[in-house]
Amino acid sequence: MIKYAFWNNKGGTGKTSLAFQAITLYAQKHPKKRILAIDVCPQANLSELLLGGLNNKGSDKLLARQGLLPRCSVGGYFQLRLPSPYVAPVFNAADFITKPSTMNKAIPENIDLVCGDPLLELQANAVNTLANNQIPGSNPWIAVVDWLSDFLKKIENDYDTVFMDCNPSFSLYTQIALAACDRIVLPVMADDSSRRAIQNAFSLVYGLKLPSEIYAAYAFATKLKAAERPLPKVHLIVKNRLTQYMGAASAYAAVLDAIEKDVGNLLKSNPEIFNFKQISKGFVEVRDFQTTGVVAFAKGLPFSKVQVGKQTINGHRVQVKKDYLDNAKEAMKGLVDCL
């Protein structure tokens, strides 16, 4: 079982839209692989897309899953763990898994889903308290951080590939997801805030360039290593939303070059945190999806299911141009080929 997490500490990098298109295309390219998507984001946008998007009542279908007993979502599983935080109780993983293709015919049948849930935000304080308890002879933090790993151990023979869409934060439920994954896909934008964000991401996950040694003992990497847990590796950095036909626009090229240089320096000083050995193998470019993306995400459609021509989205007439759709498909093919 290979486990990927789409994550960036910065919001607005297109993480969920990339995850949706990458997961569905990966499933189409590998029809014999059994795939599980886990939406570890309280906004649950990935779940809404997989269940049909805004125009096909994806939100209503998600609410229906969250209304089941037990709650069929990652929040439902965490709710099960709150009374038993340090030892996994007996549970049926299937209670928390949805088959999106039964609600959205555009989704490949080899994808299953653990829905996202706004309940994660309400649970956050309780989860933090449980993780920070001081219990002699035990490690409450690692027991809580293992929650998703416990879940995946239950179904490790049922799936080949797991994709997690993470919240743009470093909250404890994000750490639970990152601790359970093997590989991180890190989307970045061509702006200075993305450069700072990617530097911050390496600091948060790997404890690099912390402002003071005081923080080292509390770092995510320090605590995982102390418990002899492996850290996930950065598998791919996605330069997202570049100019449609020109690649990285010249105004942003300097920022992207700086990000690449930063990663290149880390590749030399800390090669163990990467899943690639050459900088050229660690980056992929994705152009702005524009109207093609608007249509795909409104209808919950992989790009392979989007139709060329005029169509109505939320009462507005829009047009999907063939060359734009082809560019979007080609961009996602380049990304998925790297997985």
pLDDT given for residue 83 in this prediction? 95
pLDDT given for residue 81 in this prediction? 97
- Mean pLDDT (whole number) for 8-33: 92
Most confident by average pLDDT, 205-209, 253-257, 302-306:
302-306
Residue type, 214: I
Max distance between CA atoms of the chain, in angstroms, equals 65
- Closest CA relative to residue 113, chosen from 56, 41, 193, 192: 41
Q: Please state which of the ranges 21-30, 51-60, 189-198, 302-311 shows the lowest mean pLDDT.
A: 189-198
Superfamily of domain 2-336: P-loop containing nucleotide triphosphate hydrolases (3.40.50.300)
Residue 214 pLDDT > 70, yes or no? no
Q: How far apart are CA 29 and CA 275, in angstroms?
A: 22
Residue pair 49/16 in contact (Cβ under 8 Å)? The answer is yes
Q: Please state which of the ranges 83-97, 134-148, 183-197, 200-214 shows the lowest mean pLDDT.
A: 200-214
- Mean pLDDT (whole number) for 117-144: 92
Close Cβ partners of 245 (under 8 Å, ≥ 6 residues apart)? 287, 327
User: Which pLDDT band, with edges at 50, 70 and 90, does 244 fall under?
Assistant: very low
Q: How far apart are CA 9 and CA 23, in angstroms?
A: 21
Domain residue extents for the chain: 2-336
Most confident by average pLDDT, 108-117, 125-134, 262-271:
108-117
Residue pair 183/5 in contact (Cβ under 8 Å)? The answer is yes
pLDDT given for residue 5 in this prediction? 97
pLDDT given for residue 313 in this prediction? 81
Q: Please state which of the ranges 101-115, 127-141, 142-156, 309-323 shows the lowest mean pLDDT.
A: 309-323
What percent of the chain is modeled with pLDDT above 90? 68
Q: What is the DSSP string of 112-164?
A: EEE---THHHHHHHHHHHHHT---TTS-HHHHHHTHHHHHHHHTTTT-SEEEE
Residue 292 pLDDT > 80, yes or no? yes
Residue type, 71: R
- Per DSSP, 70 falls in state S
